[in-house]
Amino acid sequence: MPLSLYNTLSRRLEPFEPLEPGKIRMYYCGVTVYDYCHVGHARACVVWDVVRRYLVWRGYEVRYVQNFTDIDDKILKRSRQEKSTMEAVAERYIQAYFEDMARLNVKEADEYPRATHTLDGIKRLIHELETRGFAYPSAGDVYYSVKKFADYGKLSGQKVDERQTGASGRVSEPEDAQKQDPADFALWKSAKPGEPAWESPWGNGRPGWHIECSAMVRDRLGETIDIHAGGNDLIFPHHENEIAQSEAVTGKPLARYWLHNGMVNVNGEKMSKSLGNFTTIRQMLDAPNAPDPMAVRMFILQANYRKPIDFTDEGIAAAQNGWAVLQDGLRFGGEYGDRLGWAGNVAPQADAIAHFRAAMDDDFNTSSALAVLFGLAKQLERARNLLIHEGTAGDPTAVLESQWLTLVDLAGVLGLEAQPESQERADSLSEAAIAALIAERTEAKKTKNFAEADRIRNELQAQGIQLIDKPGGLTLWHRV
């Protein structure tokens, strides 16, 4: 069975075939660096990280490039507010990006081009567009003439006259007067006094946003790439404009597969820096009762990557519970492997691998892939309970070893890794505290105060302690 992907360009599922057998060139439109990354960015970065990890696991050699937009009106505005420079603002948030994504276990890209490092490529591309009649200079700016590109709208399905000028929020009003057509967009903008500027044949200025990605893709990956990824908020106009710029020059498709992640919404609206309705990754992970970063990955991967998800505390809490189950499964080998005499020479679980692969081959169905992981973790959980309560694991030890190894391997494809338990136990309930609460509960039951007994059971449950009532009034417990 081939891997099939939903291609925004064709609006259908397509079997995936890279241009060059065994090799994949992939580009993801990264962040504009004027603030900390929010949960929406976490989603986009985790989704494409998983896609990349899966493609590598499936045997492809993947070259993954992600840009930083470090020239932009919004960065400039922030630097003015801070009486700083565009460069300093960008540098700070690029650094923060790396810190936040490392916490979420997002693998680093092979390359991180920046607009400020791509000026030669950008100017070359604008020059070629001009030579071919797709671009025109106007009072120090250069614009792309949308009407000249017959295929304009093929990705988004939007026709030129439906286009709303300024839909990206990046085209300012005064520019309109300089355009031949309101649908045209800026490739180069002249600098106003005091603004950062680069020399060019059209005068001192800075590149527009869309042209940087066309230039970076061409410089780093070539004229046609396999996968171009980004959030679906970028389909129009950003990706439409990238196609118009690149394909007008090369005459070749810019990307064979256009993949788009759905948005993280807040009350039905896109979480976004410019709307100000965002929770940063660090606010979320540093809050009291913060979720485990792996639970945040689970929150993201439980949804279909193309659908919107609402960011709610309940959603994160549910993911935290799910993660607790997987985490226990992932820790099983460290806790019991020696005791069970594991020798490290078992074959993985072929069935589980086949199911996982079928799920991921179906347009990266990560929620079905997680179900395979839960299946394995549940079996290990059963074995753990038997070990705790009966002193024997039930299944043959080689089966458990194989389940555990498979679980660790497949979880790794989703970027889910468990820390050793010792790091966490420090701040969880001590055994003495648990024993004291169980004694209180036993007392409450004796006096028929069942409400109090239930309250204690729930309190322990909330702290990850499961009680098991045995005949004769004995209560056992284990951590879930």
Ligand X SMILES: Nc1ncnc2c1ncn2[C@@H]1O[C@H](COP(=O)(O)OP(=O)(O)OP(=O)(O)O)[C@@H](O)[C@H]1O
Cβ 151 to Zn ion, closest distance in Å?
A: 18
SS (H, E, C) the chain: CCCEEEECCCCEEEECCCCECCEEEEEECCCECCCCCEHHHHHHHHHHHHHHHHHHHCCCEEEEEECEECCCHHHHHHHHHCCCCHHHHHHHHHHHHHHHHHHCCCCCCCECCEHHHCHHHHHHHHHHHHHCCCEEEECCEEEECHHHCCCCCCCCCCCHHHCCCCCCCCCCHHHHHHCCCCCCEEEEEECCCCCCCECCCCCCEEECHHHHHHHHHHHHCCCCEEEEEEEHHHHHHHHHHHHHHHHHHHCCCCEEEEEEECCEEECCEECCCCCCCCCEHHHHHHCCCCCCHHHHHHHHHCCCCCCCEECCHHHHHHHHHHHHHHHHHHHHHHHHCCCCCCCCCCCCCHHHHHHHHHHHHECCCHHHHHHHHHHHHHHHHHHHHHHHHCCCCCCCHHHHHHHHHHHHHHHHHCCCCCCCCHHHHCCCCCHHHHHHHHHHHHHHHHCCCHHHHHHHHHHHHHCCEEEEECCCCCEEEEEC
> Does the protein bind ligand X through residue 322 (CB under 6 A)?
no
- Closest CB to ligand X among residues 71, 264: 264
CA–CA separation, 158 vs 175, rounded Å?
A: 22
Tell me the window of 92-100, 117-125, 265-273, 363-371 that interacts with ligand X (CB under 6 A).
265-273
Query: For the window 271-310, what string marks contact with ligand X as x by the rule CB under 6 A?
Result: xxxx------------------------------------
> Does the protein bind Zn ion through residue 213 (CB under 5 A)?
yes
- Closest CB to Zn ion among residues 231, 329: 231
Among 110, 233, 409, 417, binds ligand X (CB under 6 A): 233
- Closest CB to ligand X among residues 295, 437: 295
> Does the protein bind ligand X through residue 208 (CB under 6 A)?
no
> Does the protein bind ligand X through residue 67 (CB under 6 A)?
no
Tell me the window of 24-32, 116-124, 338-346, 400-408 that interacts with ligand X (CB under 6 A).
24-32
CA–CA separation, 119 vs 312, rounded Å?
A: 41
264 binds, among ligand X, Zn ion, none (CB under 5 to 8 A by kind): ligand X
- Closest CB to ligand X among residues 30, 121: 30
> Does the protein bind ligand X through residue 264 (CB under 6 A)?
yes
Q: Which two tokens stand for residue 199?
A: 């020399």
> Does the protein bind ligand X through residue 40 (CB under 6 A)?
yes
Show binding-site residues for ATP.
273
CA–CA separation, 56 vs 107, rounded Å?
A: 12
- Closest CB to ligand X among residues 264, 460: 264
Among 5, 9, 26, 31, binds ligand X (CB under 6 A): 31
Q: Do residues 261 and 44 touch, judged by C-beta distance below 8 A?
A: yes
- Closest CB to ligand X among residues 117, 147: 117
CA–CA separation, 191 vs 211, rounded Å?
A: 17
Residue position matching structure tokens 């797709």: 134
Among 62, 171, 234, 352, binds ligand X (CB under 6 A): 234
31 binds, among ligand X, Zn ion, none (CB under 5 to 8 A by kind): ligand X
Q: Which two tokens stand for residue 266?
A: 């807040």
Show binding-site residues.
29, 213, 238, 242, 273
> Does the protein bind ligand X through residue 230 (CB under 6 A)?
yes
Residue 3, H or E segment = none
Among 7, 145, 178, 261, binds ligand X (CB under 6 A): 261
- Closest-by-Cβ residue to ligand X is 231
Tell me the window of 76-84, 100-108, 231-239, 397-405 that interacts with ligand X (CB under 6 A).
231-239
- Closest CB to ligand X among residues 43, 210: 43
Query: For the window 9-48, what string marks contact with Zn ion as x by the rule CB under 5 A?
Result: --------------------x-------------------
- Closest CB to ligand X among residues 114, 147: 114
Cβ 231 to ligand X, closest distance in Å?
A: 2
411 binds, among Zn ion, ligand X, none (CB under 5 to 8 A by kind): none
Cβ 299 to Zn ion, closest distance in Å?
A: 26
> Does the protein bind ligand X through residue 259 (CB under 6 A)?
no
Q: Count residues contacting Zn ion (CB under 5 A)?
A: 2
Which residues bind to ligand X, rule: CB under 6 A?
Answer: 29-32, 40-41, 43-44, 74, 230-231, 233-234, 261, 263-264, 270-274
